Amino acid sequence: MTIHPSFQWKGRHDGDGTAHLRFHHLVGQSPTATYTLIGFASDEGVRRNHGRVGASLAPDAIRTQFSNLPVHQSISISDWGTIYCEDAALEAAQEQLATAVDACLQQGSKPVVLGGGHEVAFGSFSGLFRHVLNQDLNKKVGVINFDAHFDLREATQVTSGTPFYDAAMLSAQHGQDFHYLCLGVAKHSNTQALFETAERLHCDYLFDHELNSSNLDAVLRKIDTFIAHVDELYITIDLDVFHASIAPGVSAPAVKGIDLAIFESLLQRIKASGKVKVLDVAECNPNFDLDHRTAKLAAYIIYLYMTD
């Protein structure tokens, strides 16, 4: 398990001056950054969960697609490299990610974590949770997960299916309530036991079929209500929440999935709260991607998050 700052930021250069800037021109160019990229190269949780491995290749695949996107506003970005899960030491890798996320927040920068299997979520959450506990015990951390799956499985070991159950247990250990909203849940992808766990832990959720343009106002009200009851937000996007046509490179491609235009509206509403401190993107699997569609989608989501 090592942090490797090995990615070489490069891409198209159409000319000098701000009108020609792309993101590869900006990364690492400011001593203080608004956003900090952290890679999490792990698919050990997916392997333990009997899924399709390959997500460990995602961080640099996403960086490659992000590097050539154009810059239309003043922005500063740093890259802290990639945490690699080595020798199947997933729990240790999650702890290293939590430490990095906490350190980044202490510097006043917002971590953007590039996964990796969805086991990344426990590391991201733990880092923010630790930071908030050290700052103000009265602050509440909220999790908004865009995902076809609850990832609330109770298991004897950590996997890509357990991160939010693990987060709930961590919260309980510190006497804190667990605030969790899962958007895009596919009924056919979750057992009855998972729905019962969600109810027992008082988790909020909306089904994939509820996230549509005719129901947008009701969805936004649900999100607004959730956000109003927390102080700091962690947003995580499991790319299998989208249809396989735009996200083929995931462990579990979606038969249904949510619409990208709806997602954009929801993300903009969440951003507008001003409470988002950490964002990650999970389950990009370059081994099964087509024309880099899934990596491009991940890069586009990060672009939406960082820009107006």
C-alpha angle with apex 26: 22 to 32, nearest 5 degrees?
A: 155
d(CA 293, CA 298): 9
Do the bridges between strand 3-4 and strand 77-84 make them parallel or antiparallel, or are there none, so unpaired?
antiparallel
d(CA 296, CA 302): 10
Would you call the peptide bond into 116 cis, given omega within 30 degrees of 0 as the criterion? yes
- Tell me: is residue 240 an annotated ligand-binding position: yes
Look at residue 58 and give its three-state secondary structure: helix
Look at residue 239 and give its three-state secondary structure: helix
Name the residue type at position 232: E
Name the residue among 129, 124, 226, 203 with its Cα closest to residue 173: 129
CA 72 from chain centre, in angstroms, equals 24
- Tell me: is residue 118 an annotated ligand-binding position: yes
- Tell me: is residue 43 an annotated ligand-binding position: no
Burial of residue 262 (number of CB atoms within 10 Å: 0-12, 13-18, 19+): middle
Record the tokens describing residue 270, joined without a space. 């969440």
Place of tokens 């990796």: 116
- Tell me: is residue 102 an annotated ligand-binding position: no
Name the residue type at position 172: A
Record the tokens describing residue 78, joined without a space. 């740093």
d(CA 241, CA 211): 11
**CB distance 61 to 297 below 8 Å:** no
- Tell me: is residue 209 an annotated ligand-binding position: no
Calculate Rg over the CA atoms of the chain: 18
- Tell me: is residue 224 an annotated ligand-binding position: no
Annotated binding site: 118, 147, 149, 151, 238, 240
Annotated binding site for Mn(2+): 118, 147, 149, 151, 238, 240
